[in-house]
Amino acid sequence: MTADPLVATTELAIETTGLTKAFGRQRAVHDVDLAVPRGSVYGFLGPNGSGKTSTIRMLLGLTQATGGEIRLLGSRMPDDLRRVLPRVGALVEGPAFAPYLSGRANLRRLDTADRDAPGATRKSRVDEALDRVGLGHAADKKAHAYSLGMKQRLGIAGALLMPRDLLILDEPSNGLDPQGTREVRSLIGSLAADGTTVFVSSHLLSEIEQMCTHVGVMSAGRLLLQGTLDDVRRQGVQRVTVVTPDAEAAQRILATLGLEPELLPTGVSAALPTTEQEPERLNAALVAGGVRVRGFSVSGATLEDRFVDLTGEGFAVAE
C-alpha cells in the first residue's frame, strides 16, 4: 500500500517505501509503505507474527532491510542513523533492567551508556523522567519489586531521558493488567499532547482504538491499510439498527430494498453495503409500511470490522 501522496515528506515522522525483510526464502515484511504524520499517535496493528517487530527493528537500525527505503524525521536511514537516533526514543520487546537496582539507579546506568547524554544534567533528567511516567514515588524501590505496569513505565522513562521527537513503542501494554494498561495509555496521551510523535505497535484492537489518531494494519508481512482512525472506520460497511415491535414486518420491507436484515430481540439490524441505501429512505419505507419505528440508528464500522473485512480473520480485542 502506498503512502498518502497528499502528505509531504517533511510532515512525516516515519516514511518507508517498499520496505522488505526476508529470512532466506521467507519474507517477514513485504513492500511496506508507511506514512506516519508528525504529531500523531500511530497505531501499528496486527496479530502476533504479522511483521510488526521486524519492521520496527529495521526502522531503528537494529536489523538491515532486505529492500526499500526508510526515512525517520525526514532523514534517510541508516545513512543518518548516528544523527537521527538521539531524537528517537524506543521500547522494543519489553524493558530489561537490573532487578536489584532501584528504578533511579537503573535509569542512571542507562543514561551513562548514552554517549550523547551530558553527565552534568543526569540527575535532574533522571528525576524528571521518573516524574513524567508517575514513578517519582517509587524511584528508590528495587526494580524486581515493580509491577509489570511500573516496569513498562520505567522502560518508557528510559526512552525519555533525552528530548525526543519520536517515540517507538513495541507492545507497551503486553502482559499488563487493566490498571497497568490504563497507566500506559494515559502516559502515551500526555506525550502526544506535548508534541511527541508516538508510533505504537499492538495486537490489541481496543487499545489502539482508545489511544491512536492514525492506524496501519499489518497481516502476513503486508500493510493492508493505513490512515486516520476515522477514515479507516468510514471505509467499512455501516449498519442500520431499527428498534420496533414489528420486527418481522421491518425485516420483510428491508429485504425488498436489497438488504439482508437480521432479527434482534428489540428489532432488526442490517448492513448497508452501498451508499445508495440512504438511511432516510429506509426509515420512510418502514413508516410507510406500517412499521412502528421506536428507534433508528446508523453506526460505522469498528476497527475490528475493518480488519475482518480485509483479512477474513480476527485477533485479540482485549487481554
Q: Are strands 41-45 and 214-219 parallel, antiparallel or unpaired?
A: parallel
pLDDT at site 1: 45
Residue spans per domain, the chain: 9-233, 237-299
pLDDT at site 299: 76
Q: Are strands 197-202 and 41-45 parallel, antiparallel or unpaired?
A: parallel
pLDDT at site 7: 44
What does the pLDDT profile of the chain (319 residues) look like in tens digits? 444 443 444 689 999 999 999 988 889 999 999 999 999 999 998 877 889 999 999 999 999 999 999 999 999 998 898 899 999 999 887 678 999 999 999 999 999 998 889 999 999 999 999 998 889 999 999 999 998 888 888 998 999 999 899 999 988 877 777 887 888 888 888 888 888 999 999 877 777 888 899 999 888 899 988 999 888 777 766 788 999 999 999 999 999 998 999 999 999 998 887 655 678 889 999 999 999 999 998 876 667 766 666 655 554 444 4
Provide the grid cell at 129. Answer: 523522567
Phi and psi, residue 187, nearest 5°: -65, -45
Q: Please report where in the chains the cell 524511584 appears, as a residue.
A: 139
Topology of domain 237-299, CATH: Alpha-Beta Plaits (3.30.70)
Q: Among 213, 210, 237, which residue's Cα sits nearest to residue 307?
A: 237
Cα 167 to the center of its chain, rounded Å: 13
pLDDT at site 103: 95
Residues 6 or more apart from 165 whose CB is under 8 A from it? 13, 38, 73, 87, 88, 196, 197
Architecture of domain 9-233: 3-Layer(aba) Sandwich (3.40)
CA–CA dist 131, 126 (Å, integer): 9
pLDDT at site 318: 44
Question: Cα–Cα distances in Å, from 142 out to 80, 103, 145?
Answer: 37, 6, 6
pLDDT at site 282: 92
pLDDT at site 310: 66
pLDDT at site 146: 92
